[in-house]
A and B are shown apart, each in its own frame.
Chain A
Amino acid sequence: MSYIPHTDADREAMLKAIGVDSIEALFDAVPEKHRFPVLDLPDPMTEMEIAAEMEALSRFNVSASDYAIFLGAGAYHHYIPSLVNHMLLRGEFYTAYTPYQPEVSQGTLQAIFEFQTMISRLTGMDAANASHYDGATALAEAVTVAMAAHRDKRQKVIFSPTIHPHYREVARTYHQNRAVKFSGDRSGTATMVDLADMIDDNTAMIAVQYPNFLGQIEDYTEIIKAARAHGTLVCIVTDPVACALLKSPGELGADIVVGEGQGLGIPMSFGGPYLGFFAVKNEHVRRIAGRIVGETVDGDGRRAYVMTLRPREQDIRREKASSNICTNQGLMALAACVHMTAMGKQGMRRVAELCWHKAHYAAQEIGKLKGFSVDTTRPFFKEFVVTCPKPVSEINDELIYHFGIIGGYDLGKDFPTRENQMLLCVTEMNSKDEIDMLVAGLRAIAAGELHDGDHHHHH
């Protein structure tokens, strides 16, 4: 019976202690008509069989461990130091739960405290919480914080069209029954100046992404100026990997910084589990959702950590809580904490610089190809936009088939004006050889030189 340790003798002794003669008798309260339905499930499997079946199934996926990958758009293939996984596999961490009992949870609590610190320093904020489900839900919850900061007296929230499309969608799902009006992103073409002009006294928050969904670093000066003038909160969605190199969102003038922490030691894992982070200036700490760990002392005067500002949360405030979040992404926060600590001050910057140099090398080489053009109107970090001579899906099919390369993101899917535009991502994981192969592949595909059966890659 897989993970159930009972012997027949145990079962009989226990039933006797309870005073019933069968296990079935424990369920008399369930309406008889509905009791013990048949479950149509496969036969039980042993560990050996499970491993064999699931391993075989996994081979139907193309993975970044066998293929070169230039796909980003919110999920990234970054290096994960070996020790991160070793720490995550400590049962003491991953088989514990929320640290409700601080006396037996100081490990989890201190790790969260250090995580909060590093996220605060990276983003240039004063405080951070212990995580949200992902970057998208963190943005949705930022809207809630901004509404509350204005005591629900303002209705308008402006989104830059260059925020990740999934994030904008999730925020709309979250607030569909509430008095929030989203604007700014629908046409898909609003510039930072246009957005700054939309800010008025009814605007609770404006959100931008930095670097934006297209990888670019935009100039937020006008927006921040207008937001200040109208008392509008500025939320910056950011990539923590970029923050190790670029000016922090706090330095730019953000009040709230959210984003996806997957790039900090968490595998792509087909989209989750990831790590939403949420950081704010001091004046908003009491409004944010989720777990927050604070420092204190124990009965002997020793330093200790504990979950704090608990009265914000659903288990105490119930229908008055601003969010229902309970289980979060704790272990992913630990992964990020270990990752950032192991990388350290130098490693974090080094990774960001490698991304910059490799992405720029790739962009320069692709820019030289006939039929392709690279958008260099703004500085970019690790992603950039390439206009292609053919539909992106066709190019990607050829890249994977002939070159073993997972190509970029098809921007035409989300932005009607960006048909045939591909968003390419280059990280420290892409060697010069891989980049050169990508360039050669694009050249051959544009020239129509490839034939079925030509394979340029080996694995």
Chain B
Amino acid sequence: MENSTPQPLEKTSYELSQPGRQGIRLPDPDVPLTDIPADLCRTDLDFPEMGELDVVRHFIKLSQFNYSIDKGFYPLGSCTMKYNPKINEDMARLPGYAHVHPLQSQGTTQGALALMYRLQEWLCEISGFDAVSIQPAAGAHGEFAGILMIRKYHIDRGDVKRTKILVPDSAHGTNPATTSMAGLQAIELPSDKNGDVDLDVLRKACEQHKEELAGMMITVPSTLGVFEEHIVEIIKIVHEAGGLMYMDGANMNALLGVAKPGELGFDVMHYNLHKTFSTPHGGGGPGSGPVVCNEKLAPFRPGPVVEIIEEPQDEDDAPLYGWVMPDKSIGRLKAFHGNFGMHVRAYAYISAYGSDLPKVTHYAVLNANYIRARLKGTYLMPFDRMCGHELVIEGHWPDKAPGVHALDISKRLMDYNFHPPTNYFPLIVPEALLIEPTETESKEVLDSFIEAMLKIAEEAQNNPDLLHSAPHITPVKRVDEVKAAKDLVLCCRPTHIESAEAQ
């Protein structure tokens, strides 16, 4: 054991605790008491004891160690870190939404059901699909739904051998992980030098696995930020081999009113409401990952879903909404009905834009291309072409600044008060930095980010140590990840094990 204990930025709640100090007070029981048999009870609960003000200060202090969208530019590629409108938070907290129990009767929840129904309709309209389930809790959960639906579709037709899913090597990690989790096998397809699917490779794979091909998962625009040139052709090839097409819709911020995946020929897709429709990322979640599909796959959706049970009698009447389980459903993917609070926020967001929604995409793509145009020449770009809502650059200069990596650039950006882009994803671009500005950032913000990037490129050659030792102004310096994994301290001290040993 080391003698000097490392100093914390802020003590843990356990360290701030004082025996006997009381937090929130609760009323005395107003009913006659009933004995609680001692043999059912625990004897102690090792929990912090803090006063209310101390608790508030503790969490405020912690909050100040974070970078966030509300604080500054957060161009984390593939995550669509756009402004999270404040009104959405207020709406989700209305008592008529926040304090409704999920198992209340249909008659007492018509407002919530109407909201979910309208959101379902909008999500179909925006994507060009026929049916939807808003039950999945995140993008990966929606992917899981979609792949299970594809599998069940084949099984339902007696086509039980179809267990293989093609996944381009540029795919997000959730795509291959989803495939395995659904009990299917992922077959990785190498991309061509433009970052597109190699059509010859695809044709060969489809030929080779013809009997066993369940489908393909593909991201549009791709995780490289480019619109696949041959998308319609790709869809055709896979369909001809008997496979279905899954679109990872994480990048829908590049497609609103620009193309409808259902019209392109896709069979099923998930949305990330926490990306495209501004529901907050919450330091890791919650999200919402609705799955949308065509008629073919509609019977297999996870459920229940909201439908109109009774059409209105006359024009002034509202329809009666209720829960329906699609008849060949893959089953329930979550207790209750999905992340309703996120549905409320997305509803508020789509209401704000309405038919102007395409502008979101127009300006998201404008912003990304503006950054691309201005960084070109200074940073290596794997592809010289128009990008979608994000762009990938290479964070290194093998000749001019050997030893400088994408990670160094990321860390140095923190000194300029920016959140770094996504590092080392997609995996197929060396030293990848994936930059996604979103439409909610002004030209001034983009200009100051670009200035910082250009300055860092100079520093990389003239003073690379400045990058290697970055960040300098953050609450902590680079952290020791190896030690974390080796020592594996996952709870505040003392751990049970240590206290047992001490006795």
**Complex alpha-carbon distance, A91 and B172, angstroms:** 27
User: Which of A58, A81, A299 sits near B97, CB closer than 8 Å?
Assistant: A58
Residues of A within 8 A of B333 (CB): 137, 170, 173-174
**Complex alpha-carbon distance, A14 and B369, angstroms:** 9
**Complex alpha-carbon distance, A60 and B107, angstroms:** 9
User: Which of A5, A42, A79, A272 sits near B355, CB closer than 8 Å?
Assistant: A42
A28 interface hit (Cβ, 8 Å): yes
For chain B, residues 255 to 271, give those with C-beta under 8 angstroms from any C-beta of chain A.
256-260, 263-264
A241 interface hit (Cβ, 8 Å): no
Binds B, one of A47-55, A154-162, A193-201: A47-55
B42 CB to closest chain A CB (Å) equals 5
**Do residues A103 and B47 form an inter-chain contact, with CB atoms below 8 A?**
no
**Complex alpha-carbon distance, A347 and B475, angstroms:** 33
Residues of B within 8 A of A17 (CB): 370, 373-374
B69 CB to closest chain A CB (Å) equals 4
**Nearest-neighbor residue (CB-CB) of A379 within chain B:** B40
**Complex alpha-carbon distance, A396 and B479, angstroms:** 57
B308 interface hit (Cβ, 8 Å): no
User: Which of A2, A37, A57, A406 sits near B352, CB closer than 8 Å?
Assistant: A2
B488 interface hit (Cβ, 8 Å): yes
**Nearest-neighbor residue (CB-CB) of A172 within chain B:** B331
User: Which of B178, B227, B479 sits near A324, CB closer than 8 Å?
Assistant: B178
**Nearest-neighbor residue (CB-CB) of B66 within chain A:** A107
Binds B, one of A111-119, A182-190, A443-451: A111-119
User: For A43, A74, A94, A310, which residue has the most chain B Cβ atoms within 10 angstroms?
Assistant: A94
**Do residues B484 and A251 form an inter-chain contact, with CB atoms below 8 A?**
no
**Complex alpha-carbon distance, A396 and B483, angstroms:** 57
Binds A, one of B77-85, B291-299, B455-463: B77-85
User: Which of A4, A50, A91, A345 sits near B49, CB closer than 8 Å?
Assistant: A345
User: Which of B34, B62, B340 sits near A361, CB closer than 8 Å?
Assistant: B34
Q: A92-B71, A134-B137 are in contact. Are A98 and B283 (CB under 8 A)?
A: yes
**Do residues A39 and B126 form an inter-chain contact, with CB atoms below 8 A?**
yes
Residues of B within 8 A of A356 (CB): 34, 36
A52 CB to closest chain B CB (Å) equals 11
A6 interface hit (Cβ, 8 Å): yes
**Nearest-neighbor residue (CB-CB) of B365 within chain A:** A26
**Nearest-neighbor residue (CB-CB) of B263 within chain A:** A34
Q: A268-B99, A285-B490 are in contact. Are A342 and B24 (CB under 8 A)?
A: yes
B356 interface hit (Cβ, 8 Å): yes
User: Which of B23, B259, B353, B488 sits near A342, CB closer than 8 Å?
Assistant: B23
**Do residues A358 and B31 form an inter-chain contact, with CB atoms below 8 A?**
yes
**Nearest-neighbor residue (CB-CB) of A359 within chain B:** B34
**Complex alpha-carbon distance, A345 and B14, angstroms:** 11
B255 CB to closest chain A CB (Å) equals 8
Q: A26-B366, A93-B66, A122-B45 are in contact. Are A379 and B37 (CB under 8 A)?
A: yes
B424 CB to closest chain A CB (Å) equals 9
Total residue contacts A-B, CB cutoff 8 A: 700
Residues of B within 8 A of A354 (CB): 26-27, 29
**Do residues B281 and A96 form an inter-chain contact, with CB atoms below 8 A?**
yes
Binds A, one of B111-119, B203-211, B239-247, B398-406: B111-119
**Do residues B31 and A357 form an inter-chain contact, with CB atoms below 8 A?**
yes
**Do residues A92 and B352 form an inter-chain contact, with CB atoms below 8 A?**
no
**Complex alpha-carbon distance, A337 and B89, angstroms:** 20
For chain A, residues 71 to 87, give those with C-beta under 8 angstroms from any C-beta of chain B.
71, 73-75, 77, 79, 81, 83, 85-87
What is the 8 Å Cβ interface bit string for chain B, positions 357-393, against chain A (1 contact, 0 not)?
1111011011101101110000000000110000000
B47 CB to closest chain A CB (Å) equals 4
For chain B, residues 132 to 164, give those with C-beta under 8 angstroms from any C-beta of chain A.
137-141, 143-144, 148, 151-152
Residues of B within 8 A of A277 (CB): none
B479 CB to closest chain A CB (Å) equals 4
For chain B, residues 311 to 339, give those with C-beta under 8 angstroms from any C-beta of chain A.
330-339
B215 CB to closest chain A CB (Å) equals 14
A133 interface hit (Cβ, 8 Å): yes
Residues of A within 8 A of B189 (CB): none
**Do residues B85 and A3 form an inter-chain contact, with CB atoms below 8 A?**
yes
**Do residues A341 and B484 form an inter-chain contact, with CB atoms below 8 A?**
no
User: Which of A81, A110, A118, A435 sits near B47, CB closer than 8 Å?
Assistant: A118
**Nearest-neighbor residue (CB-CB) of B264 within chain A:** A34
What is the 8 Å Cβ interface bit string for chain B, positions 262-305, against chain A (1 contact, 0 not)?
01100000001010001011111111000000000000001000
Residues of A within 8 A of B8 (CB): 302-303
**Do residues A28 and B386 form an inter-chain contact, with CB atoms below 8 A?**
yes
A312 CB to closest chain B CB (Å) equals 11
What is the 8 Å Cβ interface bit string for chain B, positions 487-503, against chain A (1 contact, 0 not)?
11111100111000000
A151 interface hit (Cβ, 8 Å): no
For chain A, residues 253 to 280, give those with C-beta under 8 angstroms from any C-beta of chain B.
260, 267-274
**Complex alpha-carbon distance, A102 and B407, angstroms:** 13
**Complex alpha-carbon distance, A334 and B58, angstroms:** 13
Residues of A within 8 A of B48 (CB): 118, 341, 344-345
A400 interface hit (Cβ, 8 Å): yes
A377 interface hit (Cβ, 8 Å): no
**Nearest-neighbor residue (CB-CB) of A135 within chain B:** B335
Residues of A within 8 A of B310 (CB): none
Residues of B within 8 A of A148 (CB): none
B137 CB to closest chain A CB (Å) equals 4
Residues of A within 8 A of B423 (CB): 100
**Do residues A271 and B40 form an inter-chain contact, with CB atoms below 8 A?**
no
Residues of B within 8 A of A298 (CB): 476-480
**Nearest-neighbor residue (CB-CB) of A37 within chain B:** B260
**Do residues A137 and B137 form an inter-chain contact, with CB atoms below 8 A?**
yes
Residues of A within 8 A of B351 (CB): 42, 45, 49-50, 53-54
A64 interface hit (Cβ, 8 Å): yes
Q: A107-B63, A432-B30 are in contact. Are A271 and B336 (CB under 8 A)?
A: yes
**Complex alpha-carbon distance, A201 and B25, angstroms:** 50
Residues of B within 8 A of A345 (CB): 45-49
**Do residues B12 and A342 form an inter-chain contact, with CB atoms below 8 A?**
no
Q: A31-B259, A134-B336 are in contact. List 8 more A-B contacts (CB 8 A).
A: A3-B82, A26-B362, A58-B111, A91-B68, A91-B69, A246-B40, A302-B476, A343-B23
Between A and B, 15 residue pairs with Cβ closer than 8 Å are A10-B442, A14-B370, A41-B353, A44-B353, A81-B24, A92-B66, A96-B282, A97-B79, A131-B285, A173-B332, A177-B151, A269-B100, A270-B337, A333-B284, A346-B22
Closest 5 CB pairs of A and B: A330-B284, A58-B96, A177-B183, A271-B336, A91-B70
